Structure formats: structure tokens, C-alpha cells
Structure 1
């Protein structure tokens, strides 16, 4: 487990690295991997990309990232 001071340091680095990100298609997976690194978690161990889900209306859809029971990640799409 990493310390809060290490997490704080990683958050600052993460925010600087991603502040100008503009291309969701090109950056999504790298973004999420870097996000999990901030907390010392291997994204591959806990979450999946482009997870199929059932929408509220019963239609089929996808979420960008799913950590089942913990986190649902979706970016805006133009």
C-alpha cells in the first residue's frame, strides 16, 4: 500500500500530465491506467474497458470502464 503523501504527489503529476488531453478516442485507456496508478492499483487487475451494460430503458450499451461494484467510468463523447 502506498502512503497518502505518495498519492498526493502522484495526483499532482497526473493532473499536470492530463490537463490538456483532448482526444478521448486516443487517450482513454492510457488515462484510466494512469488514474489507477495514482492509487497504486493495477487497472488490469480490477477493471475492464468497454464493458457491455443494459441501459435504464433496457437497451444495450457500453461504459468506458467498469470496476464491478466500485467504479463506473464514462467520458463525454461529441
Structure 2
């Protein structure tokens, strides 16, 4: 099932979903309303994601255990996923 929000952790899962939604709305407003916010979100976040993806790729190529077991490497290990992100 795509959204498994049943059982004892369902309340925490719904709360997490609501918090992520609110955070995304607030970050969008920050980026949209201020020039500095737009620059931070466009250059800062994409720069951090680039550094993160390169670090995972280098770590996986060198055989580091933390990189080989990282979901970025195991689940998204193709050019399409990196370009999409």
C-alpha cells in the first residue's frame, strides 16, 4: 500500500505529514516573498544537495559502509534520479 498509516504509529505519521506540509508551505513563502529567500532556496539548497550526492557517490566508490547502505545509493543510483532531484 502506498500510504500505510494504520496501527500504533498512525498518529505520528499523520503528524509528520502535516509538519512537512506546513514546513514546505513556509519555505515556499520565504523563497517567494524575499530576494534573499529565493537565492538561498535556489542556490543554497541545490548546492547542498549537490555536495551531498557527490559525497555519497565518492563514499560508495571507495567502498565506505555508510555510503553503500545509504538509501540515496541503494534506491536512487542512476542519472535520472540525480537529475530529478
Q: Same fold (TM over 0.5)?
A: no
TM-score where L is the length of structure 2 = 0.33
- More strand per residue: 1 or 2? 1
TM-score where L is the length of structure 1 = 0.35
- More helix per residue: 1 or 2? 2
Higher relative contact order (CA 8 A, sep 6+): 1
Select the structure of larger CA radius of gyration.
2
